[in-house]
Structure 1
């Protein structure tokens, strides 16, 4: 039984206005007038928070997005740069967003309104990571026979089809610039599952910052405390 539920995504950036515009157009999301640094869709789980951080991107991103697109040229018009083109062996283009963050574009004859295809996480042990997260948020672990990557599908609340874990040789060295949030009834079951508490909820933040077994940061949101009774019948 899962102990948490997927809530939304967060992207760290240097220039929120430019990156909100870029990702909104790439993913088919909009930014409300009263909060220009968040992207929203037709479900709360499609929300993406665009967070300004002081540190620039310094290494290959360990978490990236795969997106549907009608043409790679359309992504380039929005400000993306080509890193690695589509080939007979690679059926997607590796792109860079305006701040250099990697993402992959998959060309489709028919592009859905919401264009986030999957969340991809670099992993030392993809199978272990997939099974750990399945235990936390639910879903089914799947694999293509003979291939080294694993993914989750049918995850409750997940607004995109696949959550993929791929093998890489390099270890995690810096804070991820893309992370996800979850909701949970209690924090302790998430910790009991094997998460590490990096920063507890305090006067500055209203959530707990945790890390999975490979150090990927995620935030846990708990229900608000029940109001104390005023003693009246």
Structure 2
């Protein structure tokens, strides 16, 4: 039995308005008509799990993102028209383009003949030990664990609640050095169960936030939401 359940995704940005428009279009999600100018802004789809929060932060992107999104697209040119730039184009070796969003955050575009309404294909996490990371998140959230034999990656499929196909952990040589600009939230019955599974508590729920901030074994931040007490 899993300890927690996937809730939604969050993306840190410096300019809320332009990045809300960018990610809403790229992912096929809709912002609220009364979105706050300084965020946080929820981009919403057909299910609550498709929600992506656009959160304003003061610090700019400085290093390669530890977490990035892979998206379906009708054409790479469509992403470029939204002010994304190509880092590494499609080639005989790769069927996708490595892109940068308008604030320099990496993501990958996969051209498709038919593009679904919700365009997030997978979440990719840089890892020192991809198999250990995938197994840890499998233990926390469930789903199906997979390891590519002789390949530098492991992945999860059919994780309950996830609106994307794959959760991929890939090997990289560099360690995590700064706070992730993309993270996910989970629902859990108790925080103790998440910590007992091996998470680290970075900040408990307090008067300012209604959630607890934790980190996985390699330091990737995620937020834990507990059941809200019923009103009397």
Same fold (TM over 0.5): yes
Tell me, yes or no, if structure 1 residue 225 matches structure 2 residue 195.
Answer: no
Which aligned pairs between 1:56-75 and structure 2 lie closer than 5 A? Answer: 56-75=60-79
Distance 2:222 2:228 in 1: 19
Equivalent position of 2:158 in the other structure: 154
Per the alignment, residue 97 of structure 2 pairs with 93
The CA deviation at 1:227 is: 4.3
Q: Distance in 2 between matches of 1:215 and 1:42?
A: 31
Structure 1's unaligned 5+ residue stretches are 229-233
Say whether 1:25 aligns with 2:25.
Answer: yes
Measured in 2, the distance between the counterparts of 1:114 and 1:183 equals 22
Deviation at 1:32, TM superposition (A): 1.3
User: After TM superposition, which residue ranges in structure 1, 4 or more long, deviate above 3 angstroms?
Assistant: none
Distance (Å, rounded) in 2 between the aligned partners of 1:224 and 1:27? 29
| Partner in structure 2 of residue 133 of structure 1 | 137
Q: What are the equivalent positions in structure 2 for 1:186-205 lying under 5 Å apart?
A: 186-205=190-209
Question: Displacement, 1:147?
Answer: 1.3
Q: Match for residue 119 of structure 1?
A: 123
| 1:109 has 2:113 as partner | yes
Instruction: Provide the secondary structure at the position in 2 that maps to 1:141.
Output: strand
Mapped pair 1:6 → 2:10: no
CA drift of 1:226 comes to 3.9
Which stretches in structure 2 are left out of the alignment for 5+ residues? none
Q: CA deviation at 1:225?
A: 2.2
CA RMSD of aligned residues (A): 0.9
2:147 pairs with 1:143: yes
Report which of the two structures shows the higher radius of gyration computed on alpha carbons: 1
How far off is 1:143 after superposition? 2.6
- State how far apart, in whole Å, the 1-side matches of 2:148 and 2:200 are: 30
